[in-house]
Amino acid sequence: MAHLSDLVNLNLSDSSEKIIAEYIWIGGSGMDVRSKARTLAGPVDDPSKLPKWNYDGSSTGQAPGEDSEVILYPQAIFKDPFRRGNNILVICDCYTPAGEPIPTNKRHNAAKIFSNPNVVVEEPWYGLEQEYTLLQKEINWPLGWPIGGFPGPQGPYYCGIGCGKAFGRDIVDAHYKACIYAGINISGINGEVMPGQWEFQVGPSVGIASGDELWAARYILERITEIAGVVVSFDPKPIPGDWNGAGAHTNYSTKSMRNEGGYEVIKKAIEKLGLRHKEHIAAYGEGNERRLTGRHETADINTFKWGVANRGASIRVGRDTEKEGKGYFEDRRPASNMDPYVVTSMIAETTILWNP
């Protein structure tokens, strides 16, 4: 008699050429990831060869009940680490039946910016540092924290090991390996300053691919925590008080910055970012004012400053970049719940296309 786990792990390629495609999209809140599956006749490796699909937008806060159909356009394919075999995960964006992007479709505008010839020639690279907090399901309290109480002060937890310092490593490592399996350019993980908080990094990725990969990685993390019976939070300040918040530091460079003389290009780009500080902050995530206080390795939300190796700045330039006269910089302002399509394209637009 087969067990449930035997059936879940069935290898479809043993008996059929058919595959399962999990279509993934972003719901009405801008952070709720949704998905549903369909059967395809055989393997597909090009999103343009996948059929469009639809869903009930009135159930996701994206359309009225009297005209609820929203169309899914496949945009990126990843291998499915849950079903494995030839099965795939499909990152989609959302349109009306008339072909207009719906208001919550942030990918559409990002794709336009990244397809601008002046942006294409600069080959913008991104490295996205996604911080998140694991919570106990019934009480929404960080994993490893005593119920109704607090752990010891911050200090031993950042990159810490041991049962009193690291909580949820099995989830983190499962996610790491699943992302590599999926074909996501995940470049590392580490425990963060607050216990129960972790980080993974995606990149370097070019242009729109950085957003596709981060959303796919978030989807995989949500699925793994579902299996583990743990809640993942992307709130930028999940615990008030003397605890670090959660950000999504965005590392960025263009071809001009990576070439000889790039440090001058970097300084000019940072100057532009400073001139549009308020616009960027407004687009960098909900609740970020609770995190950007000027404490806990952040700059105050109303202040723009940059520095070399300064983790209390809005923009940090690495020592190696200063020494070599070329490289990249880190925008430390984005919150953990930021939309990577918005943040990456806005940085490119401001530093490459915008003329003050």
Q: How far apart are CA 27 and CA 81, in angstroms?
A: 22
Amino acid at 206: V
Closest of 344, 305, 299 to residue 127, by C-alpha: 344
pLDDT (0 to 100) of residue 13: 84
Hey, which residues does 90 pair with through a beta bridge? 23, 77
Q: What percent of the chain has pLDDT over 70?
A: 100
Q: What is the pLDDT of residues 274-302, one digit of tens each?
A: 999 999 999 999 999 999 998 878 889 99
pLDDT (0 to 100) of residue 194: 95
Sign of CA dihedral 64, 68, 73, 74: positive
What would the mean pLDDT of 118-144 be, rounded to a whole number? 97
Q: How far apart are CA 227 and CA 82, in angstroms?
A: 11
Q: How far apart are CA 253 and CA 243, in angstroms?
A: 31
**pTM exceeds cut of 0.95:** yes
Contact 91/216 with Cβ under 8 angstroms? yes
pLDDT (0 to 100) of residue 12: 87
Q: What is the pLDDT of residues 298-325, one digit of tens each?
A: 889 999 999 998 888 999 999 999 999 9
Which H, E and C letters describe the chain, residue by residue?
Answer: CCCHHHHHCCCHHHCCCCEEEEEEEECCCCCCEEEEEEEECCCCCCHHHCCCEEEEHHHCCCCCHHHCEEEEEEEEEEECCCCCCCCEEEEEEEECCCCCECCCCCHHHHHHHHCCHHHHCCCCEEEEEEEEEEEECCCCEECCCCCCCCCCCCCCCCCCCCCCCCCCHHHHHHHHHHHHHHCCCEEEEEECCCCCEEEEEEEEEECHHHHHHHHHHHHHHHHHHHHHCEEEECCCCCCCCCCCCCECCEEEECHHHHCCCHHHHHHHHHHHHHHCHHHHHHHCCCCHHHCCECCCCCCECCCCCEEECCCCCCEEECHHHHHHCCCCEEECCCECCCCHHHHHHHHHHHHHHCCC
Is 11 a residue whose pLDDT tops 90? no
Contact 283/332 with Cβ under 8 angstroms? no
pLDDT (0 to 100) of residue 183: 98
Confidence of residue 14 (pLDDT cuts 50, 70, 90): confident
Q: What is the pLDDT of residues 54-96, one digit of tens each?
A: 999 999 999 998 889 999 999 999 999 999 999 999 999 999 9
Q: How far apart are CA 187 and CA 248, in angstroms?
A: 14
pLDDT (0 to 100) of residue 130: 98
Q: What percent of the chain has pLDDT over 90?
A: 90
Q: Phi then psi for 140, rounded to 5 degrees?
A: 50, 50
pLDDT (0 to 100) of residue 1: 83
Sign of CA dihedral 215, 31, 167, 288: positive
Contact 201/128 with Cβ under 8 angstroms? yes
Closest of 190, 189, 193 to residue 151, by C-alpha: 193
Closest of 85, 67, 65 to residue 22, by C-alpha: 85
How far CA 205 is from CA of 7, 108, 227, 286, in Å, comes to 36, 18, 29, 25
Q: How far apart are CA 18 and CA 268, in angstroms?
A: 53
pLDDT (0 to 100) of residue 5: 87
Strands 141-142 and 125-136: antiparallel
Q: How far apart are CA 213 and CA 179, in angstroms?
A: 9
CA geometry: angle at 75 spanning 70 and 77, to 5°?
Answer: 120
pLDDT (0 to 100) of residue 356: 86
Residues, the chain: 356
Query: How does the average pLDDT of the chain come out, rounded?
Result: 96
